[in-house]
Amino acid sequence: MADTEILMAAIRCESNRIDAAMHADLDELAVTMDGLLTEILRYGLFNGGKRLRPLLVVLAARLCGRSDPAVYNLARAFEYLHAATLMHDDVIDNAETRRGRPSVYKKFGLVAAILAGDFLHARSMAIVGELAGTEALSVFSEATGRIVDGEFLQMRNAADLNLLEEDYQRAILGKTGHLIAAACEIGVIWAGRGTEERNALRTYGTHLGCAFQIIDDLLDYQGEKGKTGKAAGNDLVEGKMTLPLILAVHQADQEDRRRLQEILADAAHRRCAFAEVSRLIEKYNGFSISRRKAEEAATAALSQLDVFPDKAGGQEKAILQGLVKYVLEREK
């Protein structure tokens, strides 16, 4: 318990520094920028986000021996890109809320959500190119391309009863894993370290991202709205085939499978079948197997950290280990 508290205090401290770097950037931009755009960016960026991606840049860089504060200027690019994808996601998913508040889309409208996302997207790439060089930019833009690819995959996968676990894995890699991996890798590049460290931290990030997304998808069924800030069951309403559901569909007997098919095929059905689908997932251990898969990903992430001696980056290594645990245990 004390360990968790120390971890959370360290994370809070880093988050504050990342936020400060973003505030400084926006203040500077505000001088020449349309006032409404500034307001939207502030609203979209400062919303109680966990700052996981920029935090990973900071930790990776420091673990690799570079610890000057300019890392926060680089790190903010990852929160910008993340926020940009959320703004566009909210349009795509027609989402009413984001972290318990109206989404940028609902508060400021379609035009604002698209354009502010575009602005942050451009800004994030410019920062990475300028501060970390073109090799880092190439890793970063590759991740962006993969996010889009993952979204297409998810769209194509919607309500598809024959979806395989591999399809799900590819979609969550695109949606979450690649950018988290890129955050780790670009921290290493920025610190000027070589292939071994790059591979290790990129792989750490990939597994961490997968664990993160599986837990996210579990929380969509099992989370409490008071904690997650969103109503449970969104994914089902949208026909998203997440891991618990995929596992249940594959294990289900003929009758249950037919029933799931019936529900999934019809948007109106999906809206009122949350309890029933949850029961069916439970019946076929979809939740417990999903959690086990998240734990396996977490273990794989942890093992990558062996490359780094405990001494070298004592605190950073401990935080990276702690983050894995945190991702598994989080309730929001």
Q: Which residues of 100-120 are buried (b: 16+ CB within 10 A; e: fewer)?
A: eeebbbbbbeeebbebbbebb
Q: Least Å distance between CB 22 and a second copy? A: 16
Q: Is there a contact between 157 and 171 (Cβ–Cβ < 8 Å)?
A: yes
Binding of a second copy at residue 155 (CB under 8 A)?
yes
Closer Cβ to a second copy, 41 or 60, answer by number: 41
Could you tell me which stretch among 13-21, 96-104, 144-152, 237-245 binds a second copy (CB under 8 A)?
Answer: 144-152
Report if residue 65 touches a second copy, rule: CB under 8 A: no
CB atoms within 10 A of CB 134: 9
3-state SS, one letter per residue, for 234-264: HHHHCCCCCHHHHHHHHHCCHHHHHHHHHHH
Give residue 192's identity as a one-letter amino acid code: G
Question: What residues are paired with 98 via a beta bridge?
Answer: 101
**93-112: which residues touch a second copy (CB under 8 A)?**
110-111
Size of the site for a second copy (CB under 8 A): 41
Binding window for a second copy (CB under 8 A); candidates: 95-103, 127-135, 233-241, 251-259: 127-135
Q: Is 153 in the site for a second copy (CB under 8 A)?
A: yes
CB neighbour burial string for 18-39, b if at least 16 within 10 angstroms, e if fewer: bbebbeebbeeeeeeeeeebbe
- Site membership for a second copy, residue 160 (CB under 8 A): no
**CA-CA distance, 101 to 263, in Å (whole number)?**
30
| 145 binding a second copy? (CB under 8 A) | yes
| Shortest CB 65 distance to a second copy, Å | 23
Place of tokens 């070298």: 312
Q: How far is the CB of 317 from a second copy (least distance, A)?
A: 31
125 binds a second copy (CB under 8 A): yes
118 binds a second copy (CB under 8 A): yes
Does the protein bind a second copy through residue 78 (CB under 8 A)?
Answer: no
Binding site for a second copy (CB under 8 A): 32-34, 36-37, 85, 88, 91-92, 110-111, 114-119, 121-123, 125-126, 129-130, 133-134, 137-138, 140-142, 144-145, 147-149, 151-153, 155-156
